[in-house]
Amino acid sequence: MSAIFVASGANGEPWWIALIKALIVINLVLFGFAYLTLAERKVMGRMQVRYGPNRVGPFGLLQPIADLVKLIRKEAFAPASANDVLYIMGPFLAAFTAMTTFSVIPWGPGWEIGGYQVNGYVADLPIALILVFAVGSLGVYGFIIGGWASDSKFALLGSMRTCAQLVSYEVSLALSVLGVVIMAKSLSLVDIVGAQDADVWYVIPQIVGFVVFILAGTAETARAPFDLPEAEQELVAGYHTEYGGMRFGLYSMSEYINLITLSGLAVTLFLGGWHGPVVPGPVWFLIKLAAILFMFIWIRTTLPRLRYDQLMRFGWKVLLPVATVNAVVTALLVVAL
């Protein structure tokens, strides 16, 4: 906690502005989640020769609100044999960790408003990237606890799969960004964005890292074609089979927010962050974010699902070596030049 204040204070920003900004950003992320679900359904609908939601409000724009009201009003039942405390804690843990990570992603250059310094990020940590992965790993517990505490076979199988998948792919994910860290010589996301503005977008020298990052990220957020944890044709709904109402909503929310955060990371690490000509920084950030999210939705519509052993083989035998070689080669080149 103190690290956050020190970090923001060091940039001349009063602590209460950071607090207000955190509130705004967290609400924007939640808003983004709600409309990402709508956008996903719309885009998928168009790709699948249908319209997608268009009944609630103009162009279906109120659909996420209606979904939210529906989920909140539903009875929050729990299986009789569930472990109550853990059962309730699961979704909260998942949602909390998902929302935390977005705080370190920079989305603008910073402004001077009414004599006060306002930074284009909630927190700038010297170890921001490590924080992202650390908190992300904590989030896995939400899925495991939830699946295990429901005392259901489908949920247990689902959470076993989630556990194995997330742990395997986290390794490749972390290794894939190592090249970026070596090139920028910093773990702070703000510095990484700055380095890309001075140099080139890292997607060009780090194209291998970028591809590995997107693939491992897809698995990390359990999106198709790596959506095994909740492969509904096999495991009903995976680890959240026994969840209903807003508890399920929290799980769903954490998944989508993880996706947004991951896309934000991809933008920050590889696509130059908020930098871009003509329009202001946050707009560029949003444009790039939307492009990455659109790609994720596109992948989901097109590809069939992998099998569990194929997924594991791909993670350990393809992604991990590629990511490792990429990091080593980058390090060698940086030292040599």
In sequence order, which residues have a C-beta less than 8 Å from that of residue 101 and are 6 or more positions away? 131, 132, 135, 136, 258, 261
The answer to whether 215 contacts another protein (rule: CB under 8 A) is no
Whichever of 27 and 48 has its CB closer to another protein, that residue is 48
The answer to whether 54 contacts another protein (rule: CB under 8 A) is no
Amino acid identity, position 108: G
In whole angstroms, what is the distance from residue 309 CA to residue 292 CA?
Answer: 28
| Of 304, 335, 336, 337, the one binding another protein by CB under 8 A | 304
Query: Which of these segments, 56-64, 204-212, 220-228, 285-293, binds another protein (CB under 8 A)?
Result: 220-228
Are 173 and 221 a contacting pair, CB within 8 Å? no
The answer to whether 81 contacts another protein (rule: CB under 8 A) is no
Whichever of 153 and 185 has its CB closer to another protein, that residue is 153
| Of 43, 301, 316, 324, the one binding another protein by CB under 8 A | 301
The answer to whether 222 contacts another protein (rule: CB under 8 A) is no
What track of x and - describes contact with another protein for positions 146 through 165 (by CB under 8 A)? -------xx--x--------
In whole angstroms, what is the distance from residue 322 CA to residue 161 CA?
Answer: 23
Residues numbered 233 to 252 that lie near another protein (CB under 8 A) are 233-234, 236
The answer to whether 300 contacts another protein (rule: CB under 8 A) is yes
DSSP 229: G
SS3 116: strand
The DSSP secondary structure of 159-179, one letter per residue, reads: HHHHHHHHHHHHHHHHHHTHH
Length reported for the chain: 337
What track of x and - describes contact with another protein for positions 249 through 288 (by CB under 8 A)? ----------------------------------------
- Residue located via tokens 């979904």: 67
Cα dihedral across residues 66, 72, 75, 79: positive or negative: positive
In whole angstroms, what is the distance from residue 324 CA to residue 329 CA?
Answer: 9
CB of 66 to another protein, least distance (A): 23
| Of 227, 260, 263, 326, the one binding another protein by CB under 8 A | 227
Are 312 and 304 a contacting pair, CB within 8 Å? no
CB of 274 to another protein, least distance (A): 33
In whole angstroms, what is the distance from residue 242 CA to residue 105 CA?
Answer: 34
Query: Which of these segments, 33-41, 141-149, 178-186, 307-315, binds another protein (CB under 8 A)?
Result: 307-315
| Of 3, 50, 116, 325, the one binding another protein by CB under 8 A | 50
Binding site for another protein (CB under 8 A): 44, 47-50, 153-154, 157, 224-225, 227-228, 231-234, 236, 300-310
